[in-house]
Amino acid sequence: MLRNYACLVAMVFGPASVLADAVPSKEAAEGTFAERPFSPYANRTFPERPLWGDTHLHTGLSLDAGAFGNTLLPDEAWRFAKGEQVISSTGQPVRLARPLDWMVLTDHTDLMGFAPDLQAGKPGVISDPKGLEWYEGYKAGGEEAGKTAFDIITNFSQMTLPEILLESYSPGADAFAFTWEHIVLAAERHNDPGNFTAFIGFEWTSVPKGFNLHRNVMLRDGPIRALQVVPPVTQPPYGDTDPKALYAWLEEYEAKTGGRAVAFAHNGNLSNGWMFPTEDTYHGGKVDEEYVQNRARWEPHYEVTQIKGDGEAHPYLSPDDPFADYENWDVGNLDITELKTEDMLAGEYAREALKRGLMLEEKFGVNPYKFGMGGATDSHTSLATAEEDNFYGKSVSVEPSPTRIQHPFIANDLGEIPGDLLVASGYTAVWATENTRSAIFDAFKRRETYATTGPRIGLRFFGGWEFDEGDLETRFLADVGYTKGVPMGSDLRPREGDGAPKFLIGALRDPIGANLDRVQVVKGWLDAEGELQEKVYNVAWSDDRPLDSEGNLPDVGNTVDIETASWSNTIGASELITVWTDPEFDPAERAFYYVRALEIPTPRWVLYDKLRFGIDLPEDALLTHQERAYSSPIWYTPSE
Amino acid sequence: MRVIKEPLFHFILIGIAIFGWFNWVSPQSEGDDKGEKIAINEVDVDLLSTRFEASWKRAPSEAELEALIDALVREEVLVREARKLGLDKGDQVIRARLAQKMEFLTTAIASSVDPDEAELQAYLEDNAERFMTPSLVAFDQVFLGETAEPSEMAEVLSALNSGEDWSQLGVPSLLLQTMPLSALSVVDSAFGRGFSGNLTDLEVSVWSGPIQSGYGKHLVRVTGIQAGGLPPLDDIREAVLSEWRRETGDDLAQAQYEILAAQYEIQTPTGEGDDQ
């Protein structure tokens, strides 16, 4: 292919005499064009299939991952994501059922590269007394190593790391720059446009006083731009936990390199209310014009579901939504140094944030929380596993074993997150026209993404003013959707006539997964009194169940056999399609709409552990659940 | 461990040369301790001032340079005295640093070894799976539903063969009707495991089936097929070479270690495992 291309270049640019020689022979030309068009995407104008990926994964280069014994580096992480079998850090052969199409590798930048040096007892580490103590603890293994890892992470979050270690593994130090180079070059080696996209990225690990304000960053660019910078950190004096510092870095990155980057937050549920502020920011700032503009500019995406809890909705905030209580973690902040109180919840969950965004847009003219939805694993094992029957846990210490379920994620005097609450979630689907860095990145920018808790549910969601029942007859749903409306992540086109917005929605079950129970539209709006409202509508469902007068639907049932961890698709539907019109539309009110599609009940990962290891589960362990997909919203803004 | 005869031989030759050279030069630089003379020359001073500039972005002043030289002398005196007292013995940091320098040396040598053609070809073939380009298939499909009676299927098939608009036949669905040329794994991730395996033997441009997917039964017309395979070494030489380097680097370093270790008689208490 390369040679053919060179030939083509010669034909276009070469002098006349060369041109004559460069005309390919008949056989060569046939070889070229019979194989495939030069662009495999020729003739395609809109995305035809969702591209599946993970936006959040750690390797042994991350401080905490490495301290917990992760010895797999980016190469293994990439090979695993592409579908190759690898040997996990605990020596177990592991492989994904289906390869991913793309991934963002996001190692923690603070003390990036320290962990492998700790594991190897490098002089730079053990020349420090604390470093030597940690090295000996790590080498001792077992309980001792666990304590060591915990001590390292405590010192990190309390900002009491030994100065010399901090200096040697922070921006300005060779080790830091080389680790960044390692990350960048590994991504480049594995980036295979058209087949698999490897994004260069990192996690900016802001966790002041244990309040999770983490952001992941993905670059649209390759090494030429990425290597002109090193990523930002949060530990002073080398960095700052204030998101303003991250925005400044992003600004500088784009200005200096001409590249493009986005940031996205996750686990608002562990921020104790600081993730989506409306008045004051954690760092003593105000939610002012500058704040809303920065947030809107740099954060067009939110990681709504992952291993440390699902963050779409919370039953306290959405008491009328029977499905809001899904894999929530609401005990406290990240290290449970402060317990959760109910007033914190509104600053933590995606649905509430989308609502708050409408209010702030009314105030500032800019919506800081206008984000698309995605799911990610946040695994610290280098293994992007989000499937219930192939779940490798949060860290190496809880890779599959008969005892892993007894290890709490965290436990202290204030509270506990027991091990069985880890969530085998999630992935992000992207509607991009080709599998390349630029196409996928651009889809993130226009929010044409959706989240799932793991299964590959197909989800189309279009909004417009002209859809009608006749559109359900079409065999080209996407053609109609893009022609008559806008896709998920967009603003509705200006209102025409006096009708309500209509939505064309299609959901398709995972080809090797469970049937669908129902499709819902979640609407949030700012009413005439300035109050934020929400409502969940059942819009399509299986098995001809009747809606009651309140719009509630009977449960779909449950076919899970606890003894064998199996279920059957005898209930639910393979596919659900509908056109839905907002029955309570008020053209004067700002609103957003997103789709939630639910599967029929299936086994949770703990049930596979019970079966495969022959162990007893904690009595209150949840055995089945309804996995789901969350689309990015479509927004409506009243015209002036 | 993989046995690599050719590169290993080169490697040992280079190794002998480099270690020999170090042996030869080191007595000169470190051997005159007895003379109790400490000489700081121009080269040392230049180095001090360059380092200073690197961190402060300016040249050191006279006084600063004086202080740097004093510090260097002080360090040299203390190091020599410490050595005389044997303080360097058993210090874990010094030992780790020395061991690390030896490792650097061996990996640097390993990365300079060039494999010959046959070696690289053999490596490519041994790791064929990693370098293989995937097989691709393109097709149109008509969905018949979860189950389909043979009579219904025959009806659709005859409509297809009589040239009716295929895109309007069968059961409407969200499934892709036309799959562009895609890797088999991509096809399987859209239609379910094993679906693509049933396509590769179908006659091109002819409606065939039924083919079972994760959703039900389909009639399929393959419109293009491109067999994957192992590209010739010349097309992917750089990728193969860099993989070979990354992988053999460790083996070569281990081989070097074994050569060195062979010079020692190593005794460990029996019955105890290693300390990992």
Q: What is the number of other CB atoms lying within 10 angstroms of the CB of residue A544?
A: 5
Tens of pLDDT along B165-221?
A: 888 899 989 999 999 899 998 999 999 989 999 998 999 999 998 999 999 999 999
Distance from CA of B162 to the nearest CA of A (A): 20
Residues B9 and B119 both lie in one domain: yes
Which helix H or strand E contains B225, and what residues bound it? strand B217-226
pLDDT for A196 equals 95
CB contact (8 A) between residue B174 and residue A512: no
Interface test with A, best of B51, B93, B136, B205 (most A CBs within 10 A): B93
Residues B139 and B219 both lie in one domain: yes
Which residues in chain B have their CB less than 8 angstroms from residue A49's CB? 176, 186, 190
CA distances from A314 to A192, A311, A324, A327, A347 (A): 40, 8, 5, 10, 11
Are the CB atoms for A427 and A454 separated by under 8 Å? yes
Give me the helix-helix angle, A142-157 and A129-140, nearest 10°.
140
d(CA A158, CA A292): 29
Distance from CA of A402 to the nearest CA of B (A): 23
Pairing of strands A532-541, A575-581: unpaired
Residues B181 and B203 both lie in one domain: yes
CATH of the domain at B152: 3.10.50.40
Are the CB atoms for B180 and A78 separated by under 8 Å? no
Residues B111 and B138 both lie in one domain: no
d(CA B92, CA B84): 18
The tokens of B195 are what? 């679906």
Residues B65 and B100 both lie in one domain: yes
B272 within domain boundaries: no
CB contact (8 A) between residue B100 and residue A122: yes
Residues B109 and B138 both lie in one domain: no
CB contact (8 A) between residue A36 and residue B226: yes
Phi/psi of residue A224, each to 5°? -60, -40
CB contact (8 A) between residue B191 and residue A511: yes
CB contact (8 A) between residue B190 and residue A40: no
Q: Is the dihedral of CA A191, A203, A93, B192 positive or negative?
A: negative
Task: Say whether B179 sits in a helix, a strand or coil.
Answer: strand
Which residues in chain A have their CB less than 8 angstroms from residue B186's CB? 49, 101
pLDDT for B24 equals 66
Phi/psi of residue A277, each to 5°? -75, 160
Residue B7 in this model has a pLDDT that exceeds 70: no
Distance from CA of B35 to the nearest CA of A (A): 31
Residues B190 and B250 both lie in one domain: no
Q: What is the number of other CB atoms lying within 10 angstroms of the CB of residue A224?
A: 12
Expressed as residue numbers, the domain containing B189 is 134-226
Which residues in chain B have their CB less than 8 angstroms from residue A122's CB? 96, 100
Amino acid sitting at position A431 = W
Q: Which residue of A has its CA nearest to B223?
A: A36
d(CA B167, CA A338): 59
Mean pLDDT in chain B? 83
Residue B95: pLDDT band with limits 50, 70, 90: confident
Distance from CA of A9 to the nearest CA of B (A): 18
Q: What is the number of other CB atoms lying within 10 angstroms of the CB of residue A279?
A: 8
- The string of DSSP codes covering A266-289 is E-GGGTTT-SS-SSB-TTS-B--H
CA distances from B273 to A115, A576, B119, B266 (A): 25, 60, 36, 14
Distance from CA of A611 to the nearest CA of B (A): 24
CB contact (8 A) between residue A123 and residue B96: yes
Calculated CA dihedral for residues B187, B193, B197, B199, nearest 10 degrees: -50
Interface test with B, best of A168, A512, A542, A576 (most B CBs within 10 A): A512
- pLDDT less than 50: residues of chain A: 1-42
Amino acid sitting at position A535 = K
Are the CB atoms for B15 and B39 separated by under 8 Å? no
Residues B18 and B116 both lie in one domain: yes
pLDDT for A46 equals 84
Structural domain count of chain B? 2
Tens of pLDDT along B39-76?
A: 888 888 998 998 888 778 788 999 999 999 999 999 99
What pairs with residue B211 in β-bridges? B218
pLDDT for B83 equals 87
d(CA B235, CA B219): 38
B50 within domain boundaries: yes
Distance from CA of B214 to the nearest CA of A (A): 5
d(CA A121, CA A138): 9
> What does DSSP assign to residue A435?
S
d(CA B255, CA B165): 67
B31 within domain boundaries: yes
d(CA A137, CA A89): 18
d(CA A113, CA A181): 11
Residue B31 in this model has a pLDDT that exceeds 50: no
Q: Nearest Cα to A118, choosing from A78, A64, A79?
A: A64
Q: Which residue of B has its CA nearest to A189?
A: B239
The burial of A504, by beta-carbon neighbours within 10 Å (0-12 exposed, 13-18 middle, 19 or more buried), is given as buried
The residue behind tokens 């006349």 is: A16
Residues B172 and B247 both lie in one domain: no
B264 within domain boundaries: no
Residues B46 and B91 both lie in one domain: yes
Residues B63 and B114 both lie in one domain: yes
Which residues in chain B have their CB less than 8 angstroms from residue A4's CB? none
Q: Nearest Cα to B216, choosing from B134, B136, B111, B144?
A: B144
The tokens of B160 are what? 């297809």
CB contact (8 A) between residue A508 and residue B172: no
Which helix H or strand E contains A607, and what residues bound it? helix A605-613
Closest residue to B192, CB basis, from A83, A127, A511: A511
Tens of pLDDT along A297-340?
A: 999 999 999 999 999 999 999 999 999 999 999 999 998 999 99
B204 within domain boundaries: yes
CB contact (8 A) between residue B242 and residue A512: no
Amino acid sitting at position A135 = Y
CA distances from A322 to A7, A267, A316, A317 (A): 63, 22, 11, 12
Residue B266: pLDDT band with limits 50, 70, 90: confident
Q: State the ipTM, two decimals.
A: 0.80
Residues B139 and B205 both lie in one domain: yes
Q: Nearest Cα to B220, choosing from B209, B204, B229?
A: B209
